[in-house]
Amino acid sequence: MIFTELTVGDLTLKNRVVMPPMCMYTANNDGKVLPFHLVHYGTRAQGGVGLIIVEATAVEPRGRITDHDLGIWDDEQIEGLRNLVDIIHSFGAKMALQIAHAGRKSEVGPTVSSSPLVFNSQYTEPISLSLEKIDQVTKAFGEGARRAHLAGFDMVEIHGAHGYLINQFLSPMINKRDDEYGFKPRFGIKFLQGVITAVKQNFPGPVALRVSAESYEPDGLHPEDYIKILQILQSNPETQIDLLDVSSGGVTPSMPPRPLKAMYQMPFAETIKKNSSIPILSGGLITTFQQSNEILLSNKADLVWLGRELLRNPYWVLKAANEWHVKMDFPIQYKRAEPYSP
């Protein structure tokens, strides 16, 4: 059930509830942590979440989605992130940092991508990265991982989903290169392999990867493709990951069929999990304890993230524990209000 521990790599999580990365667009242009971030993430840790993944944090300035994103391209950004990690650890939660590059979906510019194809009319046409520039971006991911380690993060998550730069190399609809970084013959994963290697060389803890397992396009990637991609990654110690975070969409303007239903992404996660030996994390409009528990008990995933629901209720975990008579460590400062004592 959701209140059982899980070990990812060498990291033990106290429960199976995860706060996923959700962009807050609240930083200043310097990309540093602000008081909002300390309160926002700290409250969810106080509320009992086992693992908190910080929103997409850019490895270089042009890799931001907007100029209000958090950043990890400068050593001066480490101190604020370290303060954030210390707060989360004080409540017994673990902390991951999602390191990211928006590529052609950046509003900051100049935008870059695997190929010079624009996302939609609201974005500028990206520059196709040269081999030299690919190497520079790969090193930027490695440097971001180094800074994440210095800030005390327990895990890093590489953002390979939602149509951002890594996804732009993986997607056959975007990657039209004819060099070794092209889509053929191995799913355009050379860039991802380089990023994972650079990250692992600079970060000693578990490394997660977020993917868009379903593109909602006939010519795009689907869960079966990610099974093959994961097999390639796991066949080499330098590119092995410890956790796969399964999401979907964002590669093109195409959207999943409406109306969206609770657990709509779980079939993608379940398909991959049946062919994987590493923990799988997923979610999507999950709101209740029953939904979360059903996902775990039916072996669709090993961890469940709740996004919007944790925005609505930072104390969702404590509330679920109370309703189902599960004893948890209530924040000592609030013991007098503890709702349930067996």
Query: Is 95 part of a structural domain of the chain?
Result: yes
Name 342's bridge partners: none
Rounded to two decimals, what is the model's pTM?
0.97
Strands (E), the chain: 6-8, 11-13, 17-19, 51-58, 70-71, 94-100, 112-113, 127-128, 155-160, 207-212, 243-247, 280-283, 303-305
- How many structural domains is the chain composed of? 1
Given a cut of 80, whether residue 196 has pLDDT beyond it is yes
Query: Is 332 part of a structural domain of the chain?
Result: yes
Domain of 117 in residue numbering reads as 6-337
Given a cut of 90, whether residue 331 has pLDDT beyond it is no
User: What is the reported pLDDT for 339?
Assistant: 67
Under the banding of pLDDT at 50, 70 and 90, the label for residue 333 is confident
Query: Is 211 part of a structural domain of the chain?
Result: yes
Summarize pLDDT for 9-39 with one digit per residue, the tens. Answer: 999 999 999 999 999 999 999 999 999 999 9
Given a cut of 80, whether residue 340 has pLDDT beyond it is no
Average pLDDT of the residues in 169-181? 96
Given a cut of 70, whether residue 299 has pLDDT beyond it is yes
Query: Is 342 part of a structural domain of the chain?
Result: no
Query: Is 1 part of a structural domain of the chain?
Result: no
Query: Is 328 part of a structural domain of the chain?
Result: yes
Give SS3 for 245: strand
Percent of the chain surpassing pLDDT 90: 89
Query: Is 98 part of a structural domain of the chain?
Result: yes
Average pLDDT of the residues in 54-73? 98
For position 66, which CATH number holds? 3.20.20.70
Query: Is 183 part of a structural domain of the chain?
Result: yes
Task: In whole angstroms, give the CA distance from residue 323 to residue 50.
Answer: 18
Summarize pLDDT for 107-151 with one digit per residue, the tens. Answer: 998 999 999 999 999 999 999 999 999 999 999 999 999 999 999
Percent of the chain surpassing pLDDT 70: 99
User: What is the reported pLDDT for 98?
Assistant: 99
